[in-house]
Chains A and B, each alone.
Chain A
Amino acid sequence: MPKYDILPTVETIGDDRTMVLNMGPQHPSTHGVLRLLLEIDGETIVRIRPDIGYLHTGIEKTYEAKFYQQCVTLADRMDYLAPFTNELGFVLAVEKLLGLEVPPRAVWMRVLLNELTRINSHLVWLGTHAMDIGALTVFLYCFREREELLKIFEAVGGQRMFNSYFRVGGLAMDAPLGWFERVRGFLKTFPEKVDEYEGLLTGNPIWQERTKGVAVISAEDVVLLGGSGPNLRASGIDLDLRRDMPYCGYEKFKFGVPLHKDGDVWARYVVRVQELRESQKICMQALDGMPEGPVKADAPKVVLPDREKMKTQMESLIYHFKIVTEGFTVPAGEVYQAVESPRGELGFYIVSDGTAKPYRVHVRAPSFANLTMLPTMCEGRLIADVVAAIGSIDIVLGDVDR
């Protein structure tokens, strides 16, 4: 395993046989502003080190100056391909701090949206990953389905990407009329669409050549390097937080956890494509069993009242005014809430000092930890494989740098 002890630059390598190649920060296949420093011997990589921080916006610091209800919007902006998952992690952590129970309809809606987000995120991954390797058509197919998903998100949350639809204590509002039918319509045809993607890639000999046996990482190395999510399962470790440490009612759903033992780009592809199918099943269960009832907890000091009540009842108006101007206080304490994001273990560590603003929020970003695996995957291999490896880890730079 590489020791990660230098950043290869012209000054540090001091070897005439090798040269330094700078890849990024502006490079189409790095999916954002990732800079890679490569020390190469011909076409072979001797060392590869990621240099990150180009997208660092100090979100953890900003959290400390915001009320809890304002923080939800910041969570969206980290992993911008899976905003609902980030919101879910944050609101679950705050609800754990408060000891607040959420009504069942809100829980099921959260699961439904969380799985639709996973589909959305995996579609972007599949499209861009295939495009990096040279299969352009898949990208257009994936974004066709993603467009419908973004419209579904827009219908429910008002925005295509940074939805901010989850609230501490439930959801912002109930889903609009006809929304569930629209989701069902999308989900019904979705398995055929996955067959279409697989038809383009799985049996394709060029795709297999570019992915099988490339960027292999063993199960032990993934665990030591802190890799999680599909990367972990593609190396043969059977761990899915949704099933093994359930949160947000996931214990009520039946789904499989796809596994592969090879730990190469191909394995990660197979695992994620299977996850698309499993997520579709979870969504269907959520739609079929969607309970009736309120989507906000009965906690007037935390949850904003309905508009109608606010205009007719004095009590509600006072609570509304107090929450908006002063925020709501959270009992002192600390929690670490981990959720299974499309990229792996997303953890929110929140320390409260009993005021209306968090004392400290730390985000355990899955992409940040997963990126550590890149040198182990790539060293000793060819430059062309780096592009396949980055795509297969599935990083989002907003999540890496925060």
Chain B
Amino acid sequence: MPLEPAITDIELLKDRPAVAKMLSWRPEALHAAKWDRNELTLWVDRHALRETCQALKDDPSTSFNFLSDVTCVDWFPSEPRFEVVYSLLSFARKDRVRLKVRLDGADGVIDSLTPIWPGANPFEREVFDLFGIRFQGHPFLRRIMMPDDWSGHPLRKDYPVEGYR
């Protein structure tokens, strides 16, 4: 299976249920889309994230009812520095979609998904702990992996793998 070039044109991807839903529901919240290696990625506006997830979950044509994963990628030193990554899974359609939100390094704040999926709680705590992203509306945003009195966020790219900071 040789690699095919990624499709980034939203027009070509509008047959995908998640893209179709976004275009009919709130096109301005969808910043970009990518179809690469049989996986769909959508870049979503940071202020529309929670409503987007709710819409993708409730609509029977998408029915992304399961939050598989929450994580983050640090693109230091370029800006916007952080990309928070959400993997959604639909049990009914056996389909996945990846939502991404870009955040500036100086303003790493985003809405928490815990009101929709309580299971997002530990994942968001992990991202907070290791990247320093703050989730608004999270009931218990405390460090989860590192000790409570730790300073710094180890998975950031300006944090060394070994030795002292």
* A interface list, Cβ under 8 A from B: 1, 3-7, 52-53, 56, 58, 60-62, 64-65, 96-99, 101, 223-227, 237, 239, 244-245, 331, 333-336, 338, 345, 347, 349, 351, 359-360, 362, 364, 368-369, 371-372, 401
Contacts and interface: CB of A to CB of B under 8 A. Distances in A.
A359 B94 CA distance: 28
A362 B152 CA distance: 19
B87 A336 contact: yes
Contact of B96 (A97, A237, A336, A372): A336
B140 A4 contact: yes
A62 B3 CA distance: 28
B73 to A, nearest CB: 5
A224 B114 CA distance: 10
B60 to A, nearest CB: 16
Given A56-B146, A336-B98, A372-B121, A364 B68 contact: yes
A335 B37 contact: yes
A4 B1 contact: no
Nearest to B157: A64
Contacts of A96: 37
Interface of B: 1-3, 6, 36-37, 39, 41, 65-69, 71, 73-74, 85, 87, 89, 91, 94, 96, 98, 117-123, 126, 130, 139-140, 142-147, 154-155, 159, 161-162
B87 A349 contact: yes
B99 to A, nearest CB: 12
Contacts of A345: 68, 89
A244 B139 CA distance: 34
A1 B6 CA distance: 42
A14 B73 CA distance: 40
B7 to A, nearest CB: 13
A5 B89 CA distance: 26
A199 B117 CA distance: 40
B69 A56 contact: no
B119 A53 contact: no
Given A53-B146, A226-B67, A5 B139 contact: yes
B118 A1 contact: yes
A52 B143 CA distance: 10
Contacts of A333: 6, 36-37
Contacts, number: 110
Contacts of B123: 226, 368-369
Given A335-B37, A368-B122, A369-B122, A362 B139 contact: no
B69 A362 contact: yes
A98 B1 CA distance: 9
Contacts of A53: 143-147
B96 A60 contact: no
A99 B2 contact: yes
Given A224-B119, A245-B94, A4 B139 contact: yes
Most buried by B among A227, A336, A349, A359: A336
Contacts of A7: 140, 142
Contacts of B74: 360
B91 A237 contact: yes
A60 B37 contact: no
A59 to B, nearest CB: 11
Contact of A4 (B39, B94, B118, B159): B118
A336 B69 contact: yes
A3 B154 CA distance: 28
Contacts of A101: 1
Q: Which 5 A-B pairs have the closest CB atoms?
A: A226-B119, A99-B3, A5-B139, A362-B71, A225-B119
18 contacts: A4-B118, A4-B121, A5-B140, A7-B142, A62-B161, A225-B119, A226-B68, A226-B123, A331-B3, A333-B6, A345-B68, A349-B71, A359-B73, A362-B69, A364-B69, A371-B122, A372-B119, A401-B145
Contacts of B67: 226
Contacts of A97: 37
B122 A364 contact: no
Given A333-B37, A349-B69, A362-B69, A52 B119 contact: no
Contacts of B139: 3-5
Nearest to A376: B118
A226 B124 CA distance: 13
A101 B161 CA distance: 33
A368 B69 CA distance: 11
B85 A349 contact: yes
A60 B91 contact: no
